Amino acid sequence: MHAIKIQKGVKLKTKSIWGQPPSRLYGLIRLAEHTFNGHFNACVVGCSDGKFVFPFARKGHHVTGYDVDKSALYGATKEFPIYEKTKPIPYAGLTTLPPFPTEPRTYKGCIEKVKIEGLNHLVKIEERDFYALPPKQKFDVVFTSCSYQYSLNASKTLEEKTKIIQGIVSDGGYLYIDYMMAIDEQDYDRFPENKYLRKGQMATFFPTEEWQVLHIKENNTPSFEHAHTEHPYHHYHRFGYVLAQKRQR
């Protein structure tokens, strides 16, 4: 298999259908390496096809990924929209734009990619409904990107989901949550309260006796996202990000 060249000097053997991780993930890895003297274990809740898993493992860290999506774990053939990439289209009130035609494409799942990358000794991928059945194990670094708003998790409140994910962080460990916020905070039909955060809400789930919130950012305006296999039309999301450290007991 040919290596995929992503950045100058960095050759990756696999890539994610969701693109490259943001630089803040690498910032988190550096922070944890510093805190834990170079060695720590990580967990990615909602690991999908491995976008956020491989950066940890390629740096030699043990990482466990949980997901319920069989196609992301085992690979699949799905319809992908066909279009030329554009510059981001500024948000103008509509959360979705017209759909594109699609074509079937086959992609590899996370488990096969672990083998291709030769990282079986560091990566454990498990099919698991995390919020219904969280593991007992604790991790030094726990990361999730936009897993709260899935309908599967809608019976739990945002606070309950946050408590569940907080529960697998070791003392002194880090929790990083990327989350989707309501584009219209008054609209509880399109942005139900158990799925989408409102401004200022996430911080209230981190009691100061147990957690130190190191960084929180909540965008005011929606971000443009190109069409992809789940949404074959360009669309918008409003994101928030929190990084917190669990206090030592």
**Residues found near ligand SAM in the complex (CB under 6 A):** 18, 46, 48, 51, 66-69, 72, 129-131, 145-147, 150, 152-153
Nearer Cβ to ligand SAM, position 46 or 173?
46
Q: Closest separation between CB of residue 52 and ligand SAM, Å?
A: 6
Nearer Cβ to ligand SAM, position 165 or 243?
165
Between CA 78 and CA 76 the distance in angstroms is 6
Those residues whose C-beta lies under 8 Å from the C-beta of residue 173, and which sit 6 or more positions away, are: 40, 138, 139, 140, 141, 142, 245, 246
Q: Closest separation between CB of residue 148 and ligand SAM, Å?
A: 8
Nearer Cβ to ligand SAM, position 66 or 176?
66
Q: Closest separation between CB of residue 39 and ligand SAM, Å?
A: 25
Q: Which two tokens stand for residue 201?
A: 């809400």
Query: What kind and span of H or E run contains 42?
Result: strand 41-45
Between CA 208 and CA 124 the distance in angstroms is 32
Residue of minimal Cβ distance to ligand SAM: 46
| Residue that the structure tokens 């995390």 belong to | 130
Nearer Cβ to ligand SAM, position 51 or 234?
51
Q: Closest separation between CB of residue 212 and ligand SAM, Å?
A: 26
Q: Closest separation between CB of residue 153 and ligand SAM, Å?
A: 5
Nearer Cβ to ligand SAM, position 46 or 222?
46
Radius of gyration of the chain from Cα atoms? 18
Between CA 142 and CA 132 the distance in angstroms is 17
For residues 49 and 110, the answer to whether their CB atoms sit within 8 Å is yes
DSSP 68: -
Nearer Cβ to ligand SAM, position 46 or 232?
46
Q: Which two tokens stand for residue 186?
A: 């008054």
Q: Closest separation between CB of residue 126 and ligand SAM, Å?
A: 9
Nearer Cβ to ligand SAM, position 144 or 245?
144
Q: Closest separation between CB of residue 17 and ligand SAM, Å?
A: 8
Identify the CA nearest to 146 among candidates 112, 114, 181, 113.
Answer: 181
| Residue that the structure tokens 């030769």 belong to | 118
How many CA atoms, within 13 angstroms, populate the side-chain half-sphere of residue 181? 22
